[in-house]
């Protein structure tokens, strides 16, 4: 496995892979890799002859009061995991390599898909994401790129960006990997206190409650949201709800009456970390 730090090294590496007729898969990450990331790498290794994992904590997707400085960075451990997962190369650029002039003047932004959910409380976040992912797509020029459904809004936005801007890349969604107690794996979980970590599985449990309600025929999003909020208040008092939403999985717009496929999504702030999670439910598939 090659460790690449410059854009030119990536271009040369991918060109050599292409000369060997290998298809190229990209797994963009911010490092501190866990089983969720490794599932993406394994999926990429199944579908592509050459897998490139990028490890880059992208400053432009963090707001001024967010956790850029304290985001967990574990490069040695990440390299070992990438190798075990079947990556052919890891791209670990410096901030200067990615942004040699400081902020880029050219950015990629997305309209309405970025307004709801995390976009509502993280101003500029998805412009940072779309810009860095566009840069990675242009650097690696992969055939396929693999994204987790844990960050469902990000996945939806990247799919739309690729479609609207004609990137010749297939976006492959990968299911959320969870801890045995249901908590979605996240690099930020390690920043939770012991008490908050013990409470955090309430997020997934409340989403499962929402699923049951919808499948049992509840057609009032407000009632579903209130039930989620009540469960979180009872089981995770250390968390403050940022949002709980029932939205359409394609438009990400609020749905008042869930009667087809919906995404139930939430974000909760604990002292050490803001956590997100979601589930897809098809309201039309009523419980028998």
The binding site for ligand AMP (CB under 6 A) comprises 29-30, 36-37, 39-40, 147-148, 150-151, 174, 176-177, 184-187
Q: Are 202 and 183 in contact (CB under 8 A)?
A: no
| Angle ∠(109,173,168) on CA atoms, nearest 5 | 60
End-to-end CA distance of the chain: 50
Q: Say which residue the tokens 């394994």 belong to.
A: 42
Three-state SS at 281: strand
CB closer to ligand AMP out of 184 and 225: 184
CB closer to ligand AMP out of 73 and 286: 73
Distance CA 153, CA 249 (A): 9
Helix (H) or strand (E) segment spanning residue 89: strand 89-91
Give the shortest CB-28-to-ligand AMP separation in angstroms.
6
Give the shortest CB-278-to-ligand AMP separation in angstroms.
11
Beta-bridge partners for 281: 262
CB closer to ligand AMP out of 13 and 152: 152
User: CB-side exposure of 214: number of CA atoms within 13 Å?
Assistant: 29
Report which of 141, 147, 136 is spatially closest to residue 43, judged by C-alpha positions. Answer: 147
> Known catalytic residue: 37?
yes
Give the shortest CB-13-to-ligand AMP separation in angstroms.
21
Three-state SS at 259: coil
Three-state SS at 73: coil
Q: Say which residue the tokens 């009456």 belong to.
A: 257
CB closer to ligand AMP out of 183 and 281: 183
CB closer to ligand AMP out of 30 and 246: 30
Among residues 34, 37, 125, 204, which one is catalytic?
A: 37
Give the shortest CB-218-to-ligand AMP separation in angstroms.
27
Give the shortest CB-140-to-ligand AMP separation in angstroms.
15
Any idea which residues carry the catalytic annotation?
A: 37
């Amino acid at each position: 496995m090659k460790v690449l730090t410059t854009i030119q090294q990536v271009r040369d590496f991918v060109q050599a892979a292409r000369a060997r007729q290998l298809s190229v898969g990209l797994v963009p990450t911010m490092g501190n890799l866990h089983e969720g990331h490794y599932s993406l790498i394994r999926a990429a290794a199944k579908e592509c002859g050459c897998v490139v994992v990028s490890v880059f904590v992208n400053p432009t997707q963090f707001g001024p009061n967010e956790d850029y400085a304290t985001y967990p960075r574990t490069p040695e451990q990440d390299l070992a995991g990438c190798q075990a997962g079947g990556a052919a190369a890891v791209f670990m650029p410096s901030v200067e390599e990615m942004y040699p002039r400081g902020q880029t003047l050219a950015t990629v932004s997305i309209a309405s898909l970025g307004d709801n959910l995390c976009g509502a409380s993280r101003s500029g976040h998805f412009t940072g994401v779309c810009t860095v992912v566009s840069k990675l797509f242009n650097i690696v020029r992969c055939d396929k790129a693999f994204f987790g459904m844990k960050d469902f809004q990000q996945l939806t936005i990247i799919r739309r960006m690729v479609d609207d801007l004609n990137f010749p890349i297939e976006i492959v969604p990968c299911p959320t990997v969870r801890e045995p107690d249901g908590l979605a794996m996240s690099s930020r979980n390690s920043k939770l206190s012991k008490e908050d970590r013990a409470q955090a599985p309430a997020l997934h449990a409340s989403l499962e409650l929402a699923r049951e309600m919808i499948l049992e025929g509840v057609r009032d999003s407000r009632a579903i949201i209130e039930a989620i909020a009540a469960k979180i208040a009872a089981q995770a008092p250390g968390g403050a709800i940022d949002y709980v939403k029932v939205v359409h999985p394609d438009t990400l717009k609020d749905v008042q009456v869930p009667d087809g496929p919906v995404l139930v999504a939430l974000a909760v702030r604990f002292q050490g970390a803001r956590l997100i999670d979601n589930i897809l439910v098809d309201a039309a598939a009523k419980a028998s």
